[in-house]
Chains A and B, each alone.
Chain A
Amino acid sequence: NAGVTQTPKFQVLKTGQSMTLQCAQDMNHEYMSWYRQDPGMGLRLIHYSVGAGITDQGEVPNGYNVSRSTTEDFPLRLLSAAPSQTSVYFCASSPGTAQETQYFGPGTRLLVL
């Protein structure tokens, strides 16, 4: 099992560009989520999904879109990148709710100039 995979590992964008961060898991987990990690801020939840076709907003959803067409994939879209979105992004999955063990991907480091 590969677990949770994320691509790319590192990306540089210019302000206003769009891009999609990819996340995939091969554990047949229903729950998937996206967090951003900023220095001195811990991790903050962006969006989450409790199954294919079902998504909801987390603490900091503005500027990000998600969709969940399959159990395995949960891409995060930046519609118009801003310097404030410079961060490290982590995808996570678990069999059920957040009370169960979350399995995190290795992260995507994003720099917006």
Chain B
Amino acid sequence: GNSVTQMEGPVTLSEEAFLTINCTYTATGYPSLFWYVQYPGEGLQLLLKATKADDKGSNKGFEATYRKETTSFHLEKGSVQVSDSAVYFCALSDNSGAGSYQLTFGKGTKLSVIP
């Protein structure tokens, strides 16, 4: 079946530091890949996505590139801010049959940014 593995947290960084959160996946076919973010006390919201190999998703200074050869979708940001403190979830949806209606999530990585 499908699975998503992302780096365990929590991750604590100083403001303006570089962020990488690793994400690798196992899926049949050619999945779509997502990063969702959950701010404290809120539901999840889409941060960025990529639907095919070599696509780069970007939003709010965050980027992730769909690497089929390494089955990875690592999240990066060049300079984090305190407001980026949240839990980040990597997820996939495979594009075949019933799988296209289901998101498979990683366990989440909690990021804390300190001033």
The verdict on A97 contacting chain B, using a C-beta distance below 8 Å, is: yes
Chain A residues in 8 Å Cβ range of B105: 42-44
The verdict on A41 contacting chain B, using a C-beta distance below 8 Å, is: yes
The verdict on B44 contacting chain A, using a C-beta distance below 8 Å, is: yes
Among the listed B41, B100, B106, B107, which residue makes an inter-chain contact with A98, where contact means beta carbons less than 8 Å apart?
B100
The verdict on A53 contacting chain B, using a C-beta distance below 8 Å, is: no
Q: Interface code A16-53, partner B: CB below 8 Å = 1, 0 otherwise?
A: 00000000000000010100000011111100101000
The verdict on A58 contacting chain B, using a C-beta distance below 8 Å, is: yes
Given the interface contacts A48-B102, A90-B43, A104-B44, does A97 sit within 8 Å of B89 by beta carbon? no
Q: Are A102 and B89 neighbours in the complex by a CB distance under 8 Å?
A: no
Given the interface contacts A41-B107, A42-B108, does A97 sit within 8 Å of B43 by beta carbon? no
Interface of chain A residues 93 through 113 with chain B (CB within 8 A): 97-99, 101-107
Q: Are A59 and B107 neighbours in the complex by a CB distance under 8 Å?
A: no
Interface size (B, Cβ < 8 Å)? 23
B interface residues (Cβ-Cβ under 8 A, vs A): 4, 32, 36, 41-46, 49, 51, 89, 93, 95, 98, 100-103, 105-108
A interface residues (Cβ-Cβ under 8 A, vs B): 4, 31, 33, 40-45, 48, 50, 56, 58-59, 90, 92, 97-99, 101-107
> Would you give 24 A-B contacts (Cβ < 8 Å), ordered by A?
A42-B107, A43-B44, A43-B105, A45-B102, A45-B103, A48-B101, A59-B102, A90-B43, A90-B44, A92-B44, A97-B93, A97-B101, A98-B100, A98-B101, A99-B32, A99-B51, A99-B93, A101-B49, A103-B45, A104-B44, A105-B43, A106-B41, A106-B42, A107-B42
